Amino acid sequence: MRLDGHEYGVEGGITIGDAADHARAAVAAGADAVHVSATSSAGTGVGFTDAPLPWQPNQYEGLARAVKAAVDVPVLAVGRIRPMDAERILGDGGADFVSMGRQLLADPDLVRRLGDGRPDLVRPCINCFVWIRIINTASDDLCDMKISFRYLTFLKATFDSTSSIY
């Protein structure tokens, strides 16, 4: 089940203590795992980057850790987690799973690249929020890094050593 570990912008809103209590109740009722996120009272403006779209790396890591300490089922961490941070979070028991959204938009081959031992080839998410502007379009280019990479690939193919620019 998914729950919010914090409610930004609301005095007296959801706290991490509430989240731990809710997680324990859910597990007692039969939940097999807990996915910890956050929410915000503001759907636009600066509150939008508190939640649901965190701007700070690992912004909800502490929330997942607190819930993990409260329950005995797998916990999923979210919140702008980068590959190197995912390894650390998983390695030290901060969560059992991590979820990456924007990072996978930036590099759909992330899992393969890491599995091949090639983290140097991973295209990082630069947290540009470009995809928000174009998410409702028919384009599959939901990431500035992906668009930039395609453009550079096009330029390289167009002006490689066998081509002439004249």
- pLDDT tens for 86-123 read 999 999 999 999 988 778 877 888 899 999 999 889 88
Q: What's the pLDDT tens digit per position in 5-51? A: 877 777 888 889 999 999 999 999 999 999 988 777 765 555 555 55
Residue 54's closest CA among 129, 156, 138? 129
Domains and CATH numbers, the chain: 2-158 (3.20.20.70)
CA-CA distance, 149 to 15, in Å (whole number)?
41
Question: Contact 16/22 with Cβ under 8 angstroms?
Answer: no
**Chain centre distance of CA 123:** 14
Joined tokens for residue 160? 């490689």
pLDDT value at position 79? 85
Whole-structure pTM over 0.95, yes or no?
no
Highest mean pLDDT out of 41-50, 56-65, 77-86, 139-148? 77-86
Please report the pLDDT score of residue 163 as a whole number: 43
